[in-house]
């Protein structure tokens, strides 16, 4: 199959995207596919083999049978590229426009989880640089609502910290989430599928550099350790898997997602859902499925099949 692998992008996660996309292209090539390197510059220009890519509604993308977006953060994971691929009429791996946008916006996602009674950490949404009214004690984490990879996130231990953390977060986004610091384990679970998704074994994140799972811990060697399966009781592991699938369905996700949790005093609390997590063979998403019996090459094949399946299903409806 001829597959357009989208890499780079305008967000601060540009370099992370390039690494993920290289792994995806290598994996696809190893399975006999023709993997096209579609590079999106930091300015948002699309190119392939040194030439600009022309995009035309319903005109496809470089005659590819499918697109594999490996883009993280704004202008890639937030529904914008997904909407463009819909206009191009190209099957693509991963969540659609709505699920991507909802999952990228931490404030909207958390409000949606609250509406469905999903257990999560106490939080407050802050807009327009207002002073938050917190119904929970510090310490807390202060997060831009629509960034990934812990960019712009900081920990506030007292009111002075909170003011500085808010200033930092508001440099990135006009909407900020303040979230009570969870006292417990950080656990992640990968999900694969469309209408009938399946969850991987959950894994436990052990931070070995710093005191929380920040950008450095995620992307520097030795910054974290992934323990599979997570060191929690069997019933907690099953609760994580069940909640991962439930959250996946609530946001109407498709293809893939990684759902992040806290396990606090035996309670499973949803943190967030990532529609396009890091995708090297050593990234958490792939490692969890590898430990669950789905190796990297097979994972790529299944994701392509799910993309084609969803495209065919969506085209069967009348608009």
Catalytic residues: 13, 149, 219, 258, 260, 272, 274, 278
Q: Give, for 5, the enclosing helix (H) or strand (E).
A: strand 2-8
Torsion angle in degrees (nearest 10) through CA of 71, 305, 243, 99:
50
CB atoms within 10 A of CB 222: 8
274, 222 contact by CB (below 8 A) = no
- How many residues make up the chain in this entry? 319
Task: Please name which of 131, 251, 213, 127 lies closest in space to residue 177, comparing C-alpha atoms.
Answer: 127
Beta-bridge mates of residue 279: none
Residues 6+ apart with CB under 8 A from 197: 191, 245, 248, 249, 253
Q: Environment class of residue 158 by beta-carbon count within 10 Å: exposed (0-12), middle (13-18) or buried (19+)? A: exposed
Rg (CA), the chain: 19
CA distance 27 to 130: 47
């Amino acid at each position: 199959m001829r597959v357009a692998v989208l890499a780079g992008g305008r967000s601060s996660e540009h370099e992370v995207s390039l690494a993920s996309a290289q792994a995806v292209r290598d994996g696809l090539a190893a399975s006999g596919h023709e993997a096209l390197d579609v590079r999106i510059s930091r300015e948002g220009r699309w190119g392939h083999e040194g030439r600009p890519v022309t995009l035309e509604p319903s005109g496809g993308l470089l005659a590819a049978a499918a697109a594999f977006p490996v883009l993280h953060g704004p202008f890639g994971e937030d529904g914008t590229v997904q909407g463009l691929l819909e206009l191009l009429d190209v099957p693509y791996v991963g969540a659609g426009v709505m699920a991507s946008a909802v999952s990228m916006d931490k404030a909207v996602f958390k409000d949606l989880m609250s509406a469905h009674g999903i257990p999560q950490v106490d939080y407050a949404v802050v807009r327009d640089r207002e002073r938050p009214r917190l119904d929970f004690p510090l310490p807390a984490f202060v997060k831009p609502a629509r960034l990934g990879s812990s960019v712009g996130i900081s920990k506030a231990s007292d009111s002075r910290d909170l003011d500085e953390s808010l200033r930092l977060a508001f440099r990135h986004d006009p909407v900020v989430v303040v979230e009570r610091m969870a006292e417990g384990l950080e656990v992640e679970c990968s999900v694969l599928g469309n209408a009938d998704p399946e969850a991987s074994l959950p894994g436990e994140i052990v931070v070995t550099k710093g005191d929380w799972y920040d950008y450095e811990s995620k992307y520097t060697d030795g910054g974290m350790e992934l323990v599979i399966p997570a060191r929690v009781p069997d019933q907690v592991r099953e609760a994580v898997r069940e909640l991962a699938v439930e959250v996946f369905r609530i946001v109407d996700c498709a293809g893939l997602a990684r759902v992040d949790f806290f396990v606090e005093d035996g309670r499973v609390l949803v943190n967030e859902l990532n529609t396009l997590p890091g995708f090297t063979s050593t990234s958490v998403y792939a490692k969890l499925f590898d430990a669950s019996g789905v190796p990297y090459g097979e994972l790529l094949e299944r994701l392509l099949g799910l993309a084609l399946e969803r495209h065919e299903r969506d085209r069967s409806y009348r608009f």
